[in-house]
Amino acid sequence: MTETDATPDADALLDAALMHVAFDGWSETAFKAAVADTGMDPVLARSLCPRGAVDLAMAFHRRGDDAMVERLAATDMTGMRFRDKVALAVRLRLEAVEDREAVRRGTTLFALPMHAADGARLIWGTADRIWTALGDTSDDVNWYTKRATLSGVYSATVLYWLGDDSLDHQATWEFLDRRIDDVMRIEGLKASARKNPLLSRLMAGPDMVLSRIRAPRAAADIPGQWGGKGR
pLDDT, tens digit, for every residue of 86-96?
999 999 999 99
pLDDT for the residue numbered 79: 94
**183 pLDDT tier (thresholds 50, 70, 90):** confident
Same domain, 27 and 44: yes
Same domain, 79 and 30: no
HEC sequence for 154-203: HHHHHHHHHCCCCHHHHHHHHHHHHHHHHHHHHHHHHHHHHHCHHHHHHC
42: in domain: yes
Same domain, 83 and 159: yes
pLDDT for the residue numbered 222: 45
The tally of domains found in the chain comes to 2
Same domain, 105 and 182: yes
Same domain, 161 and 72: yes
226: in domain: no
- Domain span at 117: 51-221
pLDDT for the residue numbered 217: 56
